[in-house]
Chain A
């Protein structure tokens, strides 16, 4: 898949009202593969930290015997981070405002994950 292909997979996610940006991140490396972000969001930092968190959460879930994660939603004071891992090991990450429709974002993240699998 080309970089444009990865970027177009993010279109559905960024079209959701309240989403400030979305990225495809290489899960193992924590490097940005494709991004569509509003100005001021530090993509490389979010990618590295989200991938690290996803790796650790994944290990905790495996250790807990509940299998691999399919969706993470981290709610903060001024926004939220939503992550869906794709089968290929990529992570689809969305950065959103606090009041975003998380269900809709999750749906679009899952669609994007299918697109990059």
Chain B
């Protein structure tokens, strides 16, 4: 399973997480949906869809928590028939990183994914470049940034 990163500091923590947790697909992105790294995706269009949906879910659950007067949810898990989805975020010096992981229920479990997610969070915090908050992408630049990210991730 090949992991590719737009932001190189995310690659080693991501690779370790994939190996340890036994997850099938992982996407690291900003809350706005900018992709930082991916593992397991074969097509750029799948990354685009997953990033857009993951960012939307993250935004809506964060808003729900805000309206309840709660801090943002620590994580969100969906248990399907064959697959599970885990969505959470990590605060780093580069800003928040949203992690979307899809796992095969026959190969791993939510408990293992959560366990190794804690390790991923620590590794990302340790690896993130210090004092360099990620710049916000303007809506006008979003498509160009997205194309650049997908080109990096799929080696075009």
- Please tell me which stretch of A47-55, A73-81, A100-108 contacts chain B, meaning at least 4 of its Cβ atoms lie within 8 angstroms of it: A47-55
B111 contact set on A, CB distance < 8 A = 25-26, 29-31, 44, 47-48, 51-52
In-complex Cβ contact of B115 among A26, A48, A55 (8 A): A48
Contact with B along A37-50 (1 / 0, CB 8 A): 00000001101110
A-B complex: 9 closest residue pairs judged by Cβ atoms? A30-B111, A48-B111, A30-B109, A48-B115, A29-B110, A48-B112, A31-B111, A29-B109, A45-B115
Interface string of B74-89 (1 = CB under 8 A from A): 0000010000000000
CB-based contact B114/A44 at 8 Å: yes
| A contacts, CB < 8 Å to B | 25-26, 28-31, 44-45, 47-49, 51-52, 55
A55 to B110, CA, bound (A): 13
Taking CB atoms, residues of chain A closer than 8 Å to B110 are 29-31
CB of B32 within 8 Å of the partner chain: no
For the complex, what is the distance from the CA of A48 to the CA of B108, rounded to whole Å?
9
15 A-B pairs in the complex with CB atoms less than 8 angstroms apart: A26-B111, A28-B105, A29-B109, A30-B111, A30-B112, A44-B114, A45-B115, A48-B109, A48-B114, A49-B115, A51-B109, A51-B111, A51-B112, A52-B108, A52-B112
Residues of B within 8 A of A52 (CB): 108-109, 111-112
In the assembled complex, the CB of B103 is this many whole angstroms from the nearest CB of chain A, namely: 11
Q: How far is the CA of A98 from the CA of B79 in the complex (A)?
A: 37
Q: Which A residues are in CB contact (< 8 Å) with B109?
A: 28-31, 48, 51-52, 55
